[in-house]
Amino acid sequence: MDEDVEMRDQNEYEINEEELLKNIQDIDPTRERTISVVTKEKDEEELVQAKISLYKEINHAGFSAAITEELAERIINKFDYEKFVKRTLSTLNTVISSRRLTPLDKNIVSQNMRVVMNLFLYDERTLNVLYNFYDEDSRTDLKEFIIKGMTFSSDPEIKAIFMTAIWFTCQKIKHTKHERLPLMVILEVMRDHFFLSLKENTRYYGYKEFYTGFGNLIREYFKVKKSRNKKFENIIEPTIFLKQLIKILKDYKTKEKRNTVLEDHCLMGILEILT
């Protein structure tokens, strides 16, 4: 009797390797699960264990037995990072396209941003997926995706989550073999939109997260410039940019009024960037 119970308990912890490897190809990026954080600072063994933890969470596998390093390597080799990132970015684009989001939507954005953020750190090929992102259903490219994530939602928490993830990615990835640095690509997008938004003069409210993110990236940009990074690109010329900001500030007509709590985020953004 006791032997039967013991044998049944052992079987509960057996891992069907083929089934696990098959399931990894069908990960659903919208699952509301806690994702293990993977960073480049982890050594190779910790990275493998962290990735296994990620697979367990996403697939609801519930494995309790130890997974061997050999199986971990097989999982990593089997996993299609590029396909997964593409699907996840499309999911994020769908969610952030709504102005009013539920708590579940917020969690989806937060968890999915954490996943793709760490995959960008882990595998450089995923950066190419980001740079060439295009959602056919909504006809959204990378530029629209980034700006939408930081400005479209009426919920400042969603915009802050998106902006923080973008800034973290740009801050952490300072070296690539083949791809451009995320900092250069995303700063270029935000620079162009910064001047466009001021020219159109239509969105002076709700842009706080955008200007905060833009200011953070500019500071990071000049740090990279000082480090003489080989991947550095001349996205912003300091003297010309400063003159442009001063002229804009001189000509700018604030939207703030007395006896109201409405903040002019454009004005606040210009001042923050200048300082």
User: What is each CA distance from 53 to 75, 164, 169, in whole angstroms?
Assistant: 12, 24, 21
Taking the C-alpha atoms of residue 210 and residue 143, their distance in angstroms, rounded to an integer, is 13
User: Domain segments of the chain: what residues?
Assistant: 80-274
Binning pLDDT at 50, 70 and 90, where does residue 31 land? Answer: very low
- Residue 261 binned pLDDT confidence (cut-offs 50, 70, 90): low
Longest dimension (CA), the chain: 87
What's the CA gap between 142 and 189, in Å, rounded?
Answer: 9
**Which of 21-25, 100-104, 105-109, 188-192 is least confident?**
21-25
Q: In 10 A of CB 151, how many CB atoms?
A: 22
CA neighbours within 13 Å on the CB side: how many for 226? Answer: 6
pLDDT in tens, 109-134: 888 898 888 889 888 889 999 999 99
pLDDT tens figures, 41-82: 444 555 555 555 555 544 444 444 445 667 666 766 777 888
Select, from the ranges 32-46, 213-227, 241-255, the one with the highest average predicted confidence (pLDDT): 213-227
Percent of the chain with pLDDT over 90: 31
Best mean pLDDT range from 2-16, 132-146, 187-201? 132-146
Q: ∠ CA(77), CA(142), CA(50), 5° rounding?
A: 30
